Amino acid sequence: GDVAYLSNQTGAPVDESDHLDPFLVGHYHHAAAYPVGFGDGEQDVLDHEQLVRAAASAGLCPHKAMMHLGSSASVLLGNYNHLVHPGTRHMTRGEMGILDEDTFLVVDEAHGLEEKARDYLSETVPFASFDIAAGDIEAARLLLTEGRLRKGEDAPDPNDNLRDRARQAVRGPVADGQRQRDIDTVVERLTEAEAFVRHARGAVSDAIEDGIDADTGRRGDFSPEWRDDWPARNKDALAADLSEKEVPLRDPGTPEQDSVRDALAALPADETDIWTLLSRVEQDVATALDAHPRDRDYRFGSVARLLDAWRTADDARHFPLVTLTPGGRNNPPAPWQAGYEAEVELFDCLPADALADVFEELGGGVVMSATLEPLDIYTEVVGLDAFAEETGRPVETATFGLNFPEENRESLAVGLTKYTYKNRGAPVRDSGDMTPTRRRYATAIRKVARSPGNVLLAMPSYREAKWAADVLDGDSRLGKPVHVDQSSSAAETDAMLDKFTAGPASVVVTSARGTITEGVDYPDDDLHTAAVVGVPLVGQSPRMEAVVTAYGDKFGNGYEYAKTIPAVRKARQAFGRVIRSGADVGTRILIDERYASDGWDSVNSHLSPQEQTGFQAVSPDMLDLAIEGFWSEHGVE
């Protein structure tokens, strides 16, 4: 069969001088006898680099070539984006004609599908795009009526045919008797759309100001004097005065209609007409302005999609919020813009129904991962239960244990007091300043790090990882280099891992929510021990509180479904790095009483059945002896 790799490229090169893309022209010119095929790859497999090279050599748009070949491929390799993201599905489902009843879907690493779907289904737009979109509409209207792009410009040159070119572009090939009426209609709906977008922009700005006031009490701080002083401040002063924050536009714990939806619903125009208008105006704007040279993309489409999603939002499922970053502007339209730049988001808390719709279109499939348990909860949160109920089609589950020699692994659960912030306190370096809980964990971390070979320590966060590295740096008995993984670029992470695996025995400390604890293999002697400290719950935020609320309304136990189970999956991914084949030998260690106990806050039931019986409880005092005993049995001192 033929195999093609899907990329996330969403456009083709454009010739800015005349907007003609010769590569796109080449695609349509060769439609009958396409000059690029699977034979351009090795054994009929085309990856992204091979496809781009072959298409460019033939004078074709690689993006169009991918869609052309993808529709006839036997196997397509893509990612979550191609399956879930609405914009990308326009390509895969729409233009390529796949992801239908003839498609059998295989999703690997499917434990991440739920979280990724939330991101892909959310709509995010910079607040500045509202002003740009309104300006684009105004420019298109003025171009069609006066031949100028903005109010206050000099009168157009009588010899300049810009207005005529714009009007001709909008009219298109229609009958002469309809032309002027068509222009009048377009101008009328541009006027309505501009008023609507400016109204929506004002409602969002007011909601942001209210949110800032509720979160920080800063509403009155952005005085003219403060704004005048803003440009003179240095970055350190700004960082001390303002910081990045998420501001909810409604109470995350109470699903209810927010103030922006209230404002949109209060518009006098018929709701159906105004949203039909928005969908039509995007093309009007692009057509009119394409008659005038532009050096940027239009923003109206993204703003219209956000507002349309906001209009139809489900109060429990969708959560409106704003991410504020320091970076004000002079003479801003709204006072809060003196201190912040904003990104407006309609966050999709609950992707189950959308995923069920995706599954319903397919012929069948398999979703798999080593960390899907509890399976009955997984099938709920990714929409498989809803899919089965709506379609009557079966959903079967199966579990396969770790079929590698048991004698090659030691699995230990250390019963230390749970590693919560309340118990552990601040991550201080001096032992005398540590809480008793943090001191006991520091001792356990040292014992694990001293075990033979390479050691991976997964902490609940990068901040805690830095603390653990500081503890190990002060351990005179360790005798190993310590590598600290922090949130960084892929290149920096790869360089750090190369040092960890290429040199002598060492320790790498990271966050269990980071990038090197899942999807990364440590073959042969690259890893001997993987330990997870604490339960890596995602931090509390308005966004996460809204997710917990939505899951509680939908499934009955929001905290467990939205926070605890995903955290245990992260832990399982981390300790799963050490045993990847029948030849691997190593220790898997969980340090927190919640893994070993059966108390009210135990997470033991969220491990797989094999892991629940395989992890042996060990006291903190006996941890080093248990580690030494295992390695001694394998002839390692």
pLDDT exceeds 50 at position 391: yes
| Same domain membership, residue 273 and residue 232 | yes
Tokens coding 531: 């330990």
Does residue 444 register a pLDDT over 90?
yes
C-alpha span between 584 and 272 (Å, rounded): 62
Please indicate, yes or no, whether residues 235 and 377 belong to a single structural domain of this protein. Answer: no
Regarding whether 491 and 372 lie in a shared domain, the answer is no
Mean of pLDDT over the chain: 85
pTM: 0.85
pLDDT at residue 12, as a whole number: 40
Q: Per DSSP, what are the bridge partners of residue 245?
A: 324
pLDDT: is 210 or 2 the higher one?
210
Give the pLDDT confidence score for residue 13 in this predicted structure: 41
* Spatial CB neighbours of 445, under 8 Å, sequence gap ≥ 6: 457, 468, 471, 472, 531, 533, 591
426 and 373 in a single domain? The answer is: no
Question: Cα–Cα distance between 272 and 303 in angstroms, integer?
Answer: 17
Buried b (16+ CB within 10 A) or exposed e, 383-411: bbbbbbeeeeeeeeeeeeebeeeeeebbb
Q: 429 lies in a domain? A: yes
564 shares a domain with 449 = yes
Distance CA 3, CA 100 (A): 18
Within this chain, do residues 339 and 376 fall inside the same structural domain, yes or no? no
What is the reported pLDDT for 433?
Answer: 96
Residue 107: is its pLDDT beyond 50? Answer: yes
Residues 6+ apart with CB under 8 A from 112: 80, 369
Q: Token pair of 143, please?
A: 């171009």
The residues, ordered by sequence, that sit 6+ positions from 102 with a Cβ below 8 Å of its Cβ are 363
Q: Given a cut of 60, is residue 413 above it in pLDDT?
A: yes
Does the pLDDT value for residue 161 go beyond 70?
no
Q: Judge whether 10 lies within some domain.
A: yes
Render pLDDT for 301-312 as a digit per residue (tens, 0 to 9).
888 888 888 888
Arithmetic mean of pLDDT, 311-332:
84
Question: Which DSSP letter does residue 620 get?
Answer: G
Q: Is residue 591 part of a domain?
A: yes
Segment 597-613 shows an average pLDDT of 93
pLDDT at 153: 54
Task: Tell me how many domains the chain contains.
Answer: 3
Say if CB 386 and CB 356 are below 8 A apart.
Answer: yes
State yes or no: pLDDT of 217 exceeds 80.
no
Within this chain, do residues 224 and 298 fall inside the same structural domain, yes or no?
yes
* 50-67 pLDDT, tens digit each: 988 988 888 888 888 888
Orientation of helix 271-289 relative to helix 128-146, angle to 10°: 70
132 with 156, same domain?
A: yes
Q: With pLDDT > 70 as the criterion, what percentage of the chain qualifies?
A: 82
What is the tens place of the pLDDT at every residue in 520-541? Answer: 899 989 999 999 999 999 998 9
* Residues counted in the chain: 637
Q: Are 80 and 142 contained in the same domain?
A: no
How high is the pLDDT of residue 446? 98
In this structure, are 47 and 137 located in the same domain?
no
Q: Are residues 107 and 199 in the same domain?
A: no
**Residue 422's domain spans which residues?**
406-633
